[in-house]
Amino acid sequence: MRKFGLIGYPLSHSFSKKYFTEKFAQENITDAVYELYELPDIAQLPKLLQNHPEICGLNVTIPHKASVIPYLNQLNDAAREMGAVNVIKIDKNQQLIGYNSDYYGFLHSLKRHLQTWQATTPMLKALVLGSGGAAQAVKAALNFLKISYQVVSRQSNLGANIIAYQDLNEAYLTDYQLIINTTPLGMYPNIEECPPIPYNLLTMQHFLYDLVYNPQDTLFLSKGKAKGSKTAHGLEMLYGQAEKAWEIWTM
Ligand SMILES: NC(=O)c1ccc[n+]([C@@H]2O[C@H](COP(=O)([O-])OP(=O)(O)OC[C@H]3O[C@@H](n4cnc5c(N)ncnc54)[C@H](OP(=O)(O)O)[C@@H]3O)[C@@H](O)[C@H]2O)c1
């Protein structure tokens, strides 16, 4: 039996096990299972692999996307560039190779939404809320689409192109119409949280994309909808990145 799974902590919010279990059933894949492996500390990864030698592929989620890198034997170019890994393939020589499928998932989902919203990318500028693992994939996709962006972070010493939440004023909200939440704020079970942006400045011209997919109607998106902004949740990205992960594990 081939084992696949997800490492991260906590994992109570995750849809991945349900997604892959249903996929295996629908596609009559009878020699594979998908499990959740809660790892509070990434240093527990070697032990996990020792205990489960049948594991041939893993997804990586919050908070290990960057900290997992020292435990890998190889990185593909895109994952190296982003400094974030969300897919590990374990080859027949037990080599651990890191990839990033969040990039593909986000890129395809955003492109589809931009078409639906009839938003023209040369005009669009984006605010990327948060600077963690998923933000690296989002930034790479925005670069590919030639959408310029500004990162908004709690940390003030992250260098150029990064501002603090307190800096978000009317000028920024007028200039930047696409707002992408890459923070876990609003994710189950903390559904009463949302990124601290000036929601009163949102308009019908804004597009809010939340990477959070559980719940789908986050407070961030609800506040945008209340102001007439267009919104998208993270489920489509989740499916896109999961299918890309499967392609990587089975190629
Ligand atoms: N839909 C999908 O397919 C998909 C894919 C990947 C991730 N996600 C979701 O995206 C979220 C982030 O995942 P990740 O792996 O990027 O996590 P991560 O590496 O831990 O990064 C999250 C970033 O959010 C900011 N942040 C964290 N806690 C915060 C708080 N209390 N207040 C304000 N900002 C906070 C931090 O940036 P600063 O320090 O710069 O503020 C942090 O680096 C999770 O909810 C995850 O489920 C969804």
From the CA atom positions of the chain, what is the Rg in Å?
18
* Of 65, 223, 230, 244, catalytic: 65
Cα–Cα distance, 223 to 200 (Å, whole number): 9
Partner residues linked to 96 by β-bridges:
90
Q: 204: Cβ–Cβ under 8 A, 6 or more apart, which residues? A: 227, 228, 229, 230
- pLDDT-derived band at 161, boundaries 50, 70, 90: confident
Ligand 1 pocket check for 211: Cβ under 6 Å: yes
Q: Render pLDDT for 91-146 as a digit per residue (tens, 0 to 9).
A: 999 999 999 999 999 999 999 999 999 888 778 999 999 998 899 999 999 999 99
Domains of the chain by start residue, with CATH: 2-100 (3.40.50.10860), 103-237 (3.40.50.720)
Which residue has 């651990």 as its token pair? 96
Total residues belonging to the chain: 251
23 flagged as catalytic: no
Q: Render pLDDT for 217-250 as a digit per residue (tens, 0 to 9).
A: 999 999 999 999 999 999 999 999 999 999 999 9
Ligand 1 pocket check for 8: Cβ under 6 Å: no
Mean pLDDT of 48-55: 96
Q: How far is the CA of 136 from the centre of ligand 1 (A)?
A: 10
The answer to whether residue 158 scores a pLDDT higher than 70 is no
Residues of the chain with pLDDT > 90, as a percent, come to 90
Q: Which pTM does this prediction carry?
A: 0.91
Q: In angstroms, how far apart are the furthest CA atoms of the chain?
A: 56
Q: Render pLDDT for 194-208 as a digit per residue (tens, 0 to 9).
A: 999 999 999 999 999
The answer to whether residue 7 scores a pLDDT higher than 70 is yes
> For residues 133 and 62, is the Cβ–Cβ distance under 8 A?
yes
